[in-house]
């Protein structure tokens, strides 16, 4: 679907009706009118248009309420596709998904460093070309979850510290290459949106998703929409200062949460505190050793959970979300880390309500950011503008 066509599908009432069908399907025209407070003629007219465009389909008849049985409506999920990209810092992963988030195809490419802006953009383009279907008209756009600080308006990565890149014009490069709508977002914020859409969290008014892996980032979703802040810095939880005399972070400051809570940081602490650690020590090996009841490695993971809990307590005091969802490789050790996180929040949170903030591990696994990337397009299609 070329740029421009997508905008033609958009209108406030159309988005309201599409979203109502998405969250309540199967649903009748009469029920849509009742729940959206749109007039029945307006609903019928827009539904007719949506059926003609192929995005909505009719199903078998519903249950009669005393008159003729109503025809039910559903989203025609496989009518269109979205491409999602999880870009950096170590790989570029791409998926082709339908409107329900079902993954049709996927590919992944390793990133060799050092790398230039041009080389990085080329890897993304080549990855997309591998999964793009023959009928490109069925694609509504490309969503990119990008490592680093992103200027959402221009789709430019301002700073990607782990790749040592600045000012990467991802949106411009991809729109020129594919002539499709492109949306670019920070990877942790994309993950948060993916959790909001596909994580099975129900009707949550406010939620924060935190990614703990090679780096630490977060995304804030309020009433179904991402919060960016004044300069697109909202969610940079990893650069919250925990210890002003701590290690120097990749950002140049000392004692950021990221110097304590990443996989690499946990390995460094284990090497420092435990004698005779294996030469090939990895976060996975630390978890394996903890599973053998090795108290030293259990303590390393529990101490990591305490530090993360301190960071999340600060987050709760600042934003007061209903739910915090944790993802990333560090949470592979959730068996030891999560109880310490919850206990720390319970000890440090200011009020009884804050202590009860729900903290859970993502059920989307490694697909969280990729599904978030496709959500960048779905929210434009389904969410009222």
The model's pLDDT over 158-172, given as tens digits with 9 standing for 90+, comes to: 988 888 899 999 999
Answer yes or no: do 325 and 218 share one domain: yes
pLDDT number for residue 307: 96
Instruction: Report if pTM > 0.85.
Output: no
- Give backbone dihedrals phi and psi of 226, rounded to 5 degrees, phi first: -70, 140
Instruction: Decide if 198 is inside a domain.
Output: no
Answer yes or no: do 222 and 148 share one domain: no
Instruction: Decide if 61 is inside a domain.
Output: yes
**76, 97, 125 — which closes off a domain?**
76
Answer yes or no: do 226 and 99 share one domain: no
Answer yes or no: do 217 and 245 share one domain: yes
Task: Please count the residues of the chain.
Answer: 385
| pLDDT at residue 133 greater than cutoff 90 | no
Nearest residue to 190 (alpha-carbon basis) of 378, 315, 374: 374
Nearest residue to 31 (alpha-carbon basis) of 77, 76, 70: 70
Q: Token digits for 161? A: 């510290």
**76, 95, 130 — which closes off a domain?**
76
Instruction: Decide if 278 is inside a domain.
Output: yes
Answer yes or no: do 246 and 151 share one domain: no
CB 359 within 8 A of CB 345: yes
Q: What is the pLDDT of residues 76-92, one digit of tens each?
A: 988 899 999 999 788 99
Q: Please report where in the chains the tokens 């069925």 appear, as a residue.
A: 138
The number of beta carbons lying within 10 Å of the beta carbon of residue 186 is: 29
**48, 76, 104 — which closes off a domain?**
76
Answer yes or no: do 324 and 210 share one domain: yes
* Dist. CA 210–CA 226, nearest whole Å: 13
| pLDDT at residue 110 greater than cutoff 60 | yes
Q: Please report where in the chains the tokens 């170590």 appear, as a residue.
A: 90
* Dist. CA 361–CA 236, nearest whole Å: 19
- Mean pLDDT, to the nearest integer, of 235-252? 91
Domain range for 50 is 5-76
* Dist. CA 239–CA 217, nearest whole Å: 8
Residue 291 to residues 203, 299, 301: CA-CA distances in angstroms? 36, 12, 11
Nearest residue to 377 (alpha-carbon basis) of 24, 51, 36, 101: 101
pLDDT number for residue 124: 96
- Mean pLDDT, to the nearest integer, of 94-116? 93
Instruction: Decide if 104 is inside a domain.
Output: yes
Answer yes or no: do 175 and 271 share one domain: no
CB 59 within 8 A of CB 26: yes
Q: Please report where in the chains the tokens 């420092």 appear, as a residue.
A: 272
Answer yes or no: do 32 and 62 share one domain: yes
* Dist. CA 383–CA 370, nearest whole Å: 19
* Dist. CA 336–CA 353, nearest whole Å: 24
pLDDT number for residue 137: 84
- Mean pLDDT, to the nearest integer, of 244-250? 91
Answer yes or no: do 212 and 350 share one domain: yes
Instruction: Decide if 357 is inside a domain.
Output: yes
Instruction: Band the pLDDT of 24: cuts 50, 70, 90.
Output: confident
CATH number, domain containing residue 110: 3.30.420.40
Instruction: Band the pLDDT of 135: cuts 50, 70, 90.
Output: confident
Answer yes or no: do 225 and 85 share one domain: no
Percent of the chain beyond pLDDT 70?
Answer: 94
**What is the domain count for the chain?**
3
Q: What is the pLDDT of residues 360-372, one digit of tens each?
A: 999 988 898 999 9
Answer yes or no: do 164 and 98 share one domain: yes
Answer yes or no: do 148 and 187 share one domain: yes
Instruction: Decide if 150 is inside a domain.
Output: yes
CATH number, domain containing residue 37: 1.10.10.10
């Amino acid at each position: 679907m070329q740029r421009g066509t997508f905008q033609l599908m958009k209108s406030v009432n159309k988005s309201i009706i599409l979203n109502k069908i998405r969250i309540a399907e199967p649903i009748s025209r009469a029920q849509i009118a009742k729940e959206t407070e749109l007039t029945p003629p307006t609903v019928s007219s827009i539904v007719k248009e949506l059926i003609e465009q192929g995005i909505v389909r009719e199903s078998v008849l519903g249950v009669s309420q005393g008159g003729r049985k109503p025809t039910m409506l559903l989203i025609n999920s496989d009518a269109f596709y979205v491409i999602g990209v999880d870009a950096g810092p170590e790989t570029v992963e791409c998926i082709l998904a339908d409107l329900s988030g079902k993954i049709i195809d996927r590919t992944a490419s390793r990133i060799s460093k050092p790398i230039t802006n041009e080389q990085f953009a080329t890897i993304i383009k080549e990855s997309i070309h591998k999964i793009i279907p023959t009928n490109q008209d069925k694609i509504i756009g490309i969503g990119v979850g990008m490592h680093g600080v992103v200027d959402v308006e221009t789709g430019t990565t301002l700073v990607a510290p782990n790749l040592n890149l600045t000012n990467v014009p991802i949106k411009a490069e991809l729109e020129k290459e594919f002539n499709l709508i492109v949306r670019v977002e920070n990877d942790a914020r994309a993950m948060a949106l993916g959790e909001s859409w596909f994580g099975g969290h129900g009707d949550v008014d406010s939620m924060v998703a935190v990614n703990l892996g090679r780096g630490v980032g977060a995304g804030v979703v309020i009433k179904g929409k991402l919060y960016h802040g004044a300069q697109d810095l909202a969610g940079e939880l990893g650069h919250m200062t925990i210890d002003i005399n701590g290690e120097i972070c990749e950002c140049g400051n000392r004692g950021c949460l990221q110097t304590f809570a990443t996989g690499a940081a946990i390995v460094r602490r284990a090497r420092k505190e435990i004698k005779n650690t294996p030469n090939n020590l990895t976060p996975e090996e630390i978890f394996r050793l903890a599973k053998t009841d090795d108290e030293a490695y259990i303590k390393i993971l529990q101490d990591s959970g305490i530090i993360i809990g301190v960071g999340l307590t600060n987050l709760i005091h600042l934003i007061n979300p209903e739910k915090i969802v944790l993802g990333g490789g560090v949470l592979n050790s959730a068996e030891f880390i999560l109880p310490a996180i919850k206990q720390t929040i319970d000890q440090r949170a200011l009020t009884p309500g804050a202590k009860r903030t729900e903290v859970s591990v993502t059920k989307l696994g490694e697909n969280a950011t990729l599904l978030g990337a496709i959500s960048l397009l779905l929210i434009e299609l389904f969410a009222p503008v």
